[in-house]
Amino acid sequence: MMRKIFCLLLISALLVIPVFGLSDEAIGTNNSLSKAEFKIKEMKEANLSTERVSDVYLKAKQLYDAQVALEKAGGKPDYSLAKKKIKKIEDLKEKGFLLADELKALKLRIKESDVNTTKAEIIYSEALKEFEDERYEKAKKLIEKTYTKLSELESTAARIGAFYEAVSKTFENFIRENFKKIISVILIISVTLIVLRNRIKIYRLKKKLRLLELRKEILKKLIKKTQSDYFEKGIIGEDTYTLRIDKFGELIRDINRQIPLVKANIAKVKKPEKRREEKKENLIKRGIQKIGEKKKKQSERQRIKERGKKTKEKVEKLKDRDLEKIAEDLLEIQKKIKKPRNPVKRIFYKIDVYRRRKRLKRKLKS
C-alpha cells in the first residue's frame, strides 16, 4: 500500500513540475489526469481490460495538452471536455470492479442452483464477453437477465416439483384406496389370459393358415396368367415364362410344406383344449347329478317329516274314548278266540291275532 502511495506522489510530482505558471484549473485537471492514470494501473493489476479506459485517457490527455498550449499562447482555455473524459475513466473503473464482483457472485449463484442452468449459463457467457470487451452497460443488463432467467427456471422447477409431488401423492392414495380392486383386476386379466392362451394361439395359427392358402391361390392365378401370356397372347418370352413358372412353383411347394405344420400345431393346441372342455362337461354333469341327488334326499326327508307329522296329528286327534274302544275290541277278540291246545291250531290262532292287530294299526294310521 505504501508503495502505491509513493508511486502516485512521484507521478503527481513529475506531472506538476512542467505546469508551473499555469492556472489553478490546469493544475487541477493535471492532478485528475494523474489519478486517472493510477486508476488504470489498478485495473491492470486486477486483471481487468483497460483498452477502453486507455483510449479515453489518451483523448483526455490530448484535450488537456491542447488547452494548456492555448493558455500559454494567451488564449482562454476550456478544460471541461478533458474533465468529462477523466470523470468517464472514474465511472468505468467503478463499473469494472463492481461488475467483476457481480459476475463472481452470479457464477457462484449458478453453481449453487439445483436446477438445469444451461440457458442461464448461455446468458452469463454473453455477459462475461461483454464485460471483457469493456461494454459494461450491456454486461450489466445481461447479468440482470441471467438472474431473471435463473428465477424463472427455479420457479418452473418448483412448480414441476410441486405438481409431481401432488400427482405422486394422489397416485399413492389412489393405489391405497383401490388396492384390492387393482389386485382383483390384475388377477382377472391374468386368469383370462391363461384361460384364453390356447384360443389365442389357435386364432393366430388359423390366421396364418388362411394367409398361406390365400398366397397359394394368388400364385396359382399368377401361373395361369403367365401361361396365358406365353401360350395365348405371346407377350412374354420363353426364358421369362420358365423363370416365372419355376419361381411360382417353388413358392407353392414352400407353402405346401408349411400348411401341414400349421395344421399339426393347431391340432396339438386343440387337444388339451378338448380335454379341458371334456373335464368341464364331466364336472358339470357330476354337479348336476349331485344336485339331483340332494334334491331327492331332501324331498324324501320332507315326505318322511310330513308323514310323521300327519301321524302325530292323527294320534293327537284321537280321544280317550277311541283308545278305550280299541282296548275293548282287543279284549273281545281275546275272549272270543281262546287259545287252542292243538299246536297247529295255536299257530293259526297267533296268525289271526297278528292280522287283526295289523288291521287296527292301519286304521289308526289312516
Show pLDDT as tens, one digit a residue, over the chain (366 residues).
Answer: 445 444 444 444 444 434 445 677 778 778 878 887 887 888 888 778 777 878 888 888 888 888 788 778 777 887 888 778 888 888 888 888 888 888 888 888 888 887 788 888 888 888 888 888 888 888 888 888 888 888 888 888 778 877 777 777 777 777 777 878 888 888 888 877 776 777 788 888 888 889 989 998 998 888 888 888 888 888 888 888 888 888 888 999 999 999 998 888 888 877 665 556 666 676 777 777 777 777 777 777 777 667 656 655 655 555 444 555 655 665 566 555 556 667 767 777 777 777 777 776 676 655
Task: Determine contact, residues 69/19, Cβ cutoff 8 Å.
Answer: no
Per the CB < 8 A criterion, the answer to whether 314 and 364 are in contact is: yes
Q: 223 and 162 in one domain? A: no
| Domain enclosing residue 10, as ranges | 1-108
Q: What is the pLDDT of residue 18?
A: 44
Helix/strand/coil percent split, the chain, to 5: 90, 0, 10
Handedness of CA 318, 321, 327, 328 (dihedral sign): negative
Q: Is residue 302 part of a domain?
A: no
On whether both 234 and 218 belong to a single domain, the answer is: yes
pLDDT of residue 272: 64
Residue 224's CATH number: 1.10.287
pTM (two decimals): 0.40
CB 11 within 8 A of CB 36: no
Answer yes or no: is 304 within a domain: no
Q: Does residue 298 lie in a domain region?
A: no
Q: Are 161 and 210 contained in the same domain?
A: no
- Per-residue pLDDT, 68: 82
Q: From the centroid of its chain, how far is CA 45?
A: 58
Domain end among 75, 90, 108: 108
Give the contacts of 333 (CB within 8 A, at least 6 positions apart). Answer: 353, 356
Q: Give residue 180's identity as a one-letter amino acid code.
A: K
Among 55, 76, 108, give the residue marking a domain's end.
108
Does any domain span residue 188?
A: no
Q: What is the pLDDT of residue 14?
A: 40
Cα separation, 350 vs 347, whole angstroms: 5
Instruction: State the pLDDT at residue 325.
Output: 62
Do 68 and 139 lie in one domain? The reply is no
Kindly state whether residue 152 falls inside one of the protein's structural domains. yes
Q: 22 and 39 share a domain?
A: yes
Q: Is the dihedral of CA 99, 101, 103, 109 positive or negative?
A: negative
- Given 54, 74, 108, the domain boundary residue is 108
In a domain, 300, yes or no: no
Does residue 326 share a domain with residue 256? no
Residue at 359 is within a domain: yes
Contact call for residues 50 and 58 (beta carbons, < 8 A): no
Asked, for residue 38, whether it belongs to a domain, the answer is yes
Residues 84 and 130 in one domain: no
Residues 91 and 8 placed together within one structural domain of the fold = yes
Q: Are residues 103 and 2 located together in one domain of the fold?
A: yes
Q: How many domains does the chain have?
A: 4
Which single residue is written with the C-alpha cell 294310521?
365
- CA dist 19 and 32 (Å) reads 13
State residue 279's pLDDT score: 64
Are residues 37 and 18 located together in one domain of the fold?
Answer: yes
d(CA 366, CA 362) in angstroms, rounded, equals: 6
Contact 33, 64 (CB under 8 A): yes
Grid cell listed for 155: 420457479
Asked whether residue 6 falls in the same domain as residue 75, the answer is yes
